[in-house]
Amino acid sequence: MIGESANAPSGVVNVVTTDNRGLTPEELAEMALNKIIYVGKDLPEPVRVQALSYQEQIKQILIKYLKQAVTSDRATLAGELERQGHADMANIVRSL
Amino acid sequence: MAITQALCNSFKQEVLEGGHNFASSAGDTFKLALYESSATLGASTTAYAAPADAAADPTSTYEVSTTGTNYTSGGQALTNNGTSLSGTTAFVDFADEVFSSVTLTAAGCLIYNSSQSNTAVIVLSFGGDKTATNGDFTIQFPTADSSNALIRIT
């Protein structure tokens, strides 16, 4: 039998929207975490506790590197803006 | 006119004929297109059809317009996480998809196979209008396990 989550009431997919901003590293880390490790609520408690602890460790690593990715990308952007003679815009980017 | 969440009937037959490859490496490309609430999408949808004029507002198919939205007609290609087998259930998962820096309202989407003549896979309803204003519009897919994954064969 082919089953699909679509059989469930609408809302199976979750839609997250933002206004006047992009997703934060914390929000993205949470999304990525759900793809990397899923801790089932029916796991034996000792296993579940350990899995949740591991999940939290991964989350903090993801946040760190995602923040660095944003910082590095802005550095690249600011550098290019400087090179193109737009020091004022470069400073705006650096201040974000 | 309505967006009715469903696995497309044509997809079910095509799967039996080897018409879709969900492998994460060298598999088909699946895209996700966004639609306004007036769109007609459901189990009988067989393929993605481009609107007559993607810049019209609304478009002829009620796919989100490209005017003032930063949305690209046809949507975006999904990142395929491939297939998995858990017990007696095989399932498919995609990475959550983000439409960045957009200003748009959508009530549902169509996932289709752009490697196979844009054949329809699944229609998803958002449960109502969802709006992003100069921000990100993110579709989070369900947990990739044998009970919740987007598409499962049991």
pLDDT tens-digit profile of A47-61?
A: 999 999 999 999 999
Below-70 pLDDT ranges, chain B:
none
Using alpha carbons, list the distances in angstroms from residue A83 to A78, B112, B145: 9, 42, 49
> Using the beta-carbon criterion (under 8 Å), do B12 and A40 form an inter-chain contact?
no
Q: Report how far residue B142's alpha carbon sits from residue A5's, in angstroms, rounded to the nearest whole number.
A: 8
| Average per-residue pLDDT for chain B | 95
Contacts of A36 in chain B (CB under 8 A): none
| Average per-residue pLDDT for chain A | 86
Rg (CA), chain B: 15
Q: Is A17 on the interface with B (CB under 8 A)?
A: yes
* E-assigned strand segments in B36-147: 76-77, 80-86, 89-94, 97-113, 119-140
pLDDT of residue A1: 52
> Using the beta-carbon criterion (under 8 Å), do A19 and B132 form an inter-chain contact?
yes
| Dihedral (CA of B41, B113, B124, A14) sign | negative
Measured in angstroms, the CA of B149 and the nearest CA of chain A are apart by 6
Model's pTM, two decimal places?
0.87
pLDDT band at A7 (very low <50, low <70, confident <90, very high): very low
Contacts of A34 in chain B (CB under 8 A): 140, 143
Interface of A with B in 60-89 (CB under 8 A): none
> Using the beta-carbon criterion (under 8 Å), do B141 and A38 form an inter-chain contact?
no
> Using the beta-carbon criterion (under 8 Å), do B136 and A13 form an inter-chain contact?
no
Q: Report how far residue A39's alpha carbon sits from residue A54's, in angstroms, rounded to the nearest whole number.
A: 10
Q: Is A14 on the interface with B (CB under 8 A)?
A: yes
The answer to whether B149 touches B142, Cβ cutoff 8 Å, is yes
Query: How big is chain A, counted in residues?
Result: 96
pLDDT band at A8 (very low <50, low <70, confident <90, very high): very low
Q: Which of B133, B144, B153 sits opposite A19 (nearest CB)?
A: B133
Rg (CA), chain A: 20
Q: Which of B95, B131, B141 sits opposite A13 (nearest CB)?
A: B141
Contacts of B127 in chain A (CB under 8 A): 10-11
pLDDT of residue A6: 39
For the record, the structure tokens of B91 come out as: 């399932």
Please tell me which residue of chain B has the smallest CA distance to A29: B96
Q: What percent of chain A has pLDDT over 70?
A: 89
